[in-house]
Amino acid sequence: MSLRGKAAIVGAALAGCGEAHGKSAMEITVEAVQGALADAGVSLCDVDAIATCQPLDMLSGLTLAQELGLNPRFAMNNRMGGSSFLSHTLWAATLLELRLADTVLIAYGSNQRTASGKLMTALGLPTYEAPYRPMFPLSSYALAADRHMTQFGTTREQLADVAVAARAWAQKNPEAFVRNPLTREDVIASRRVSDPLRLRDCCLVTDGGGALVMRRAETAKDHPRPPVYLLGGGEGTTHRDISEMPDLTVTGAVQSGAAAMEMAGVRPSDIDVVELYDAFTINVILFLEDLGFCRKGEGGAFVESGGIAPGGHLPVNTNGGGLSCVHPGMYGIFTLVEAVRQLRGEAGDRQIDSAELALAHGNGGVLSSQVTNILGTEATL
């Protein structure tokens, strides 16, 4: 049995992106839920399964049910970091297809910027890494970037070009948090944090939330907006701690991408728009390679000089990404919301012409969990 095209996203919304003064993570989450339900034309009482993951609340699935006044058949709380929401969609489709649920709500919210000004996480340093004081999670990604540069000759300029492309997209997105111009030189001149990564290689620290409503394909057209169908999905988990990652230049996106594309029956060259979890600039290079958009080691050349910027050969992170649009700590759900907007043709100045197929990809931990979703319009069924 395949999940291809069996379920669809019928509602999507963001809330509290940027700064949401005086609001808790759960309050931002509930605002996003309100938006997604309104977008879907679904009443709260119809929701019979929920999935969430919150920065600090280990039982957030239960908290969300409580805040919404729901007694859901399933309260999912599976937690793999920022990739969690792209896994939630796969479980949602599974519950829908098995008729264990009829309307699934996926939601997230975080107030890390206004509450703490930095990454808010319940995680501590791993036992066998703590004595050496790596910055969490930044140094793990810095080590991956260093290895990629050593092994493939990826350059400092190529890393910078990922951030420059994100900013160029953000300038087309009125909802993006940072929209002032950014050049390659600006990135390379920004403060060193954990070599080779500099400040502008790092995602933003913002507040923000997002929510999605999913239903079975057979009822997906009963809603106000065009359905966005889940065509394929896959996961890859290679480690928890960076010191246990088998090869720092190859992520679990090899596995998750291949599984998602096989289920969807598509190839990388079929994809119109790509939304990747860009916690750091190196992520985009790694994921483009591992998902098959270019060969291993050629990601640097792929992104160089506007390759993924507006007008480039592949539109990547059209909202401005975690680097320039929004990054409340677990960015995965924003890849899905932006993919939905692109496939509905709602993306304004940044809209990709005739976008029919989108790839959304989430990263969790320190390159540890990779989850890929392929989404499509009705024409792709």
Q: Where along the sequence are the contacts to another protein (CB under 8 A)? A: 127-135, 139, 142-144, 146-147, 150-151, 191-197, 242-244, 248
Least distance (Å) between residue 376 CB and another protein: 38
Least distance (Å) between residue 151 CB and another protein: 8
Contacts of 202 by beta carbon, 8 Å cutoff, 6+ apart: 138, 193, 279, 280, 323
Other CB atoms within 10 A of residue 11 CB: 25
Nearer to another protein, 198 or 216 (CB): 198
Nearer to another protein, 238 or 373 (CB): 238
**Closest to 206 in 3D by CA, of 12, 23, 53:** 23
Q: Are 200 and 187 in contact (CB under 8 A)?
A: yes
| Cα–Cα distance, 285 to 300 (Å, whole number) | 6
| Cα–Cα distance, 202 to 205 (Å, whole number) | 9
The distance of Cα 219 from the centroid of its chain, to the nearest Å, equals: 26
* Residue 103, both tokens: 């309307």
Nearer to another protein, 128 or 224 (CB): 128
Nearer to another protein, 172 or 240 (CB): 240
Least distance (Å) between residue 148 CB and another protein: 9
Nearer to another protein, 73 or 147 (CB): 147
Least distance (Å) between residue 246 CB and another protein: 9
Least distance (Å) between residue 240 CB and another protein: 11
Nearer to another protein, 135 or 250 (CB): 135
Least distance (Å) between residue 149 CB and another protein: 9
Task: Supply angle C-alpha 141, 143, 147, rounded to 5.
Answer: 115
**Closest to 237 in 3D by CA, of 256, 219, 213:** 256
Least distance (Å) between residue 114 CB and another protein: 25
Nearer to another protein, 87 or 249 (CB): 249
Q: In what order do the strands lie in the sheet with 207-216?
A: 74-76, 49-52, 103-110, 207-216, 7-18, 228-237, 369-376, 357-364, 273-276
Least distance (Å) between residue 367 CB and another protein: 12
Nearer to another protein, 143 or 333 (CB): 143
Distance between the two ends of the chain, CA-based, in angstroms? 16
Least distance (Å) between residue 193 CB and another protein: 6
Largest CA distance in the chain: 56
Nearer to another protein, 38 or 193 (CB): 193
**Closest to 51 in 3D by CA, of 68, 3, 219:** 68
Q: Residue holding tokens 């919210």?
A: 109
Q: Are 208 and 334 in contact (CB under 8 A)?
A: yes
Strand duo 192-194 + 49-52: pairing = unpaired
